[in-house]
């Protein structure tokens, strides 16, 4: 019994020693924690001070109609902060992520305030198809920016002349197949100096139709985002000049003031690029999802064993099939050129049948290396960008 008591005594003494050590550590940590708290407070105060400076920037940009997003300025700032982080012994990637978050918040704040002032506030804008998703989206943005917005829908054609009277912009937001016919029908009612613009995802046919139907300024636009976008911060808008670019520059400037990145190019180049960026990408996604459906793959079960990259890829497939089917059908098969590229894609996939039937790993490796060499530095860039996305996905799930 005495040994037990002695052992218990020693145990009690050890526990006491541990408690004393813990209390001593807590006492030592307390001033350090207070110092960290003070630094954290300084960080918040500095962010508030930065916001005050941003308010002055907003006022200046509003007065001068300057764009919200300044790419070279932001990238220069990020480069300097990364260099500063390295010299301070910090992780440059972590510091870059922190500052990109701060910069984005600043841009969103600027956009939210600047959109209240239009480049041509008070101008009359007619949105054809303004009750649709994209038409409604832009109708709201124009209205919030101080424009007088009118909407023309299917039942409004008897009033087309009145709706078009004295308008400064006719903004066409209708399905691709209907666009040329709508342009021809609307054109006789437009004032000569009115800007005529469309937002379809193909540009040659609509721009040609606008040029043939309307003698005034013509501008083809293609926003690379959908109506679920909460703001236009860094969203890309393609602009195809048609006639009298100077007369429609205010519309380009308006998109810039909303935070968009406006890329100017020809209709031919636009349609060639979009054949890959939109049509091919959407069709490949459709084919992948269709294959999973036809095989009746247990999606939930695959996710139980999925890597983050598989979840990300599958998420993009699910996102695609959550959209409007007629819209994507028209995007994919909008032109003979797009359909021709998709046929070439199908033929290219079929070329790999022999490789699979033979189990020719050497040929696969050869093709793999050839493609990798063609991609070049983009492979490394893709690793960095996809790793960032994967890590964010891991944090969420």
Give the CATH number of the domain where residue 179 resides.
3.40.50.720
Is 219 within 8 Å of 194 (Cβ atoms)? no
pLDDT of the residue at 137: 96
290 with 245, same domain: the answer is no
- DSSP characters for 105-130? HHHHHHHHHHTTS-TTTT-EEEEETT
Residue 83 lies in a domain: no
pLDDT of the residue at 241: 97
Structure tokens at 13: 């003494």
Tell me whether residue 287 is exposed, middle or buried, using C-beta atoms within 10 angstroms of its C-beta: 0 to 12, 13 to 18, 19 or more: middle
How high does pLDDT run on average in the chain?
88
Does the structure show a pLDDT above 70 at 18?
no
Q: What band does 344 get if pLDDT is binned at 50, 70 and 90?
A: very high
Residue 74 lies in a domain: no
Mean pLDDT of 15-19: 58
255 with 130, same domain: the answer is yes
Give the tens place of pLDDT for each residue, 332-341. Answer: 998 999 999 9
Phi, psi of 17 (to 5 degrees): -60, -40
Give the tens place of pLDDT for each residue, 29-78. Answer: 888 899 999 999 999 999 989 988 888 887 787 677 676 667 778 888 88
Domain hosting residue 55, numbered range: 1-64
* H or E element in which residue 323 lies: none
Does the structure show a pLDDT above 80 at 175?
yes
184 with 228, same domain: the answer is yes
Task: Report how far Cα 100 is from the mean position of its chain's Cα atoms.
Answer: 15
53 with 155, same domain: the answer is no
Pick from 115, 184, 123, 179: nearest CA to 150 = 123
Query: What is the distance between the terminal CA atoms of the chain, rounded to a whole angstrom?
Result: 55
pLDDT of the residue at 1: 45
Which residues lie closer than 8 Å to 363 by C-beta, 6 or more apart?
Answer: 355
Residue 77 lies in a domain: no
276 with 260, same domain: the answer is no
Of 267 and 93, more confident: 267
Of 218 and 14, more confident: 218
* H or E element in which residue 149 lies: strand 148-152
pLDDT of the residue at 358: 85
Residue 136 lies in a domain: yes
Structure tokens at 325: 């089917």
321 with 257, same domain: the answer is no
Give the tens place of pLDDT for each residue, 286-296. Answer: 999 999 999 99
* H or E element in which residue 36 lies: helix 2-64
296 with 231, same domain: the answer is no
* Domain final position from 29, 64, 99: 64
Give the tens place of pLDDT for each residue, 205-233. Answer: 999 999 999 999 999 999 999 898 888 88
pLDDT of the residue at 300: 87
pLDDT of the residue at 2: 47
pLDDT of the residue at 3: 47
218 with 237, same domain: the answer is yes
55 with 27, same domain: the answer is yes
275 with 385, same domain: the answer is yes
* Domain final position from 250, 265, 280: 265
Is 167 within 8 Å of 125 (Cβ atoms)? yes
pLDDT of the residue at 59: 78
For residues 94 and 96, give the distance between their C-alpha atoms in angstroms, rounded to a whole number.
Answer: 5
Question: Residue 148 forms beta bridges with which residues?
Answer: 124
368 with 245, same domain: the answer is no
Q: How many domains does the chain have?
A: 3
Does the structure show a pLDDT above 80 at 173?
yes
280 with 246, same domain: the answer is no
Percentage with pLDDT > 70 across the chain: 90
pLDDT of the residue at 94: 87
pLDDT of the residue at 113: 63
* Domain final position from 236, 265, 294: 265
Residue 323 lies in a domain: yes
Residue 150 lies in a domain: yes
Give the tens place of pLDDT for each residue, 44-58. Answer: 999 989 988 888 887
Which residues lie closer than 8 Å to 157 by C-beta, 6 or more apart?
Answer: 185
Q: What band does 269 get if pLDDT is binned at 50, 70 and 90?
A: very high
Give the tens place of pLDDT for each residue, 355-384. Answer: 888 888 899 999 999 999 999 999 988 888
């Amino acid at each position: 019994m005495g040994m037990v008591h002695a052992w218990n005594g020693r145990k009690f003494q050890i526990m006491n020693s541990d408690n004393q050590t813990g209390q001593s550590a807590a006492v030592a940590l307390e001033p350090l924690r207070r110092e960290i708290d003070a630094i954290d407070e300084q960080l918040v105060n500095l962010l508030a001070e930065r916001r005050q400076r941003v308010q002055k920037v907003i006022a200046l940009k509003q007065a001068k109609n300057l764009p919200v997003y300044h790419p070279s300025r932001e990238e220069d700032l990020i480069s300097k902060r990364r260099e500063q982080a390295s010299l301070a012994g910090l992780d440059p990637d972590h510091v870059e992520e922190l500052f990109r978050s701060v910069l984005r918040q600043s841009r969103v704040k600027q956009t939210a305030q600047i959109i209240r002032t239009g480049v041509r506030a008070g101008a009359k804008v007619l949105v054809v198809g303004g009750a649709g998703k994209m038409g409604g989206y832009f109708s709201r943005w124009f209205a919030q920016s101080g424009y007088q917005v009118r909407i023309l829908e299917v039942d409004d054609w008897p009033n087309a002349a009145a709706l078009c009277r004295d308008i400064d912009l006719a903004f066409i937001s209708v399905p691709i197949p209907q666009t040329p016919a709508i342009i021809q029908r609307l054109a006789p009612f437009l004032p000569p100096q009115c800007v005529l613009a469309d937002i379809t995802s193909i540009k040659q046919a609509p721009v040609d139709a606008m040029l043939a139907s309307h003698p005034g300024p013509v501008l083809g636009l293609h926003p690379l985002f959908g109506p679920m976008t909460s703001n236009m911060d860094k969203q890309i808008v393609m602009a195809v000049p048609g006639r009298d670019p100077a007369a429609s520059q205010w519309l380009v400037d308006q998109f810039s003031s909303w935070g968009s990145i406006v890329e100017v190019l020809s209709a031919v180049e636009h349609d060639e690029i979009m054949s890959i960026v939109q049509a091919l990408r959407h069709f490949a996604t459709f084919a992948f999802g269709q294959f999973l459906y036809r095989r009746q793959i247990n999606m939930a079960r695959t996710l139980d064993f999925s890597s983050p990259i598989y979840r990300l890829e599958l998420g993009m497939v699910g996102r695609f099939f959550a959209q409007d089917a007629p819209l994507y059908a028209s995007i994919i098969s909008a032109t003979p050129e797009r359909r021709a590229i998709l046929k070439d894609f199908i033929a290219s996939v079929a070329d790999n049948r022999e490789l699979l039937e033979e189990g020719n790993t050497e040929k696969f490796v050869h093709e793999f290396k050839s493609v990798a060499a063609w991609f070049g530095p983009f492979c490394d860039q893709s690793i960095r960008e996809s790793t960032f996305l994967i890590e964010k996905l891991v944090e969420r799930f």
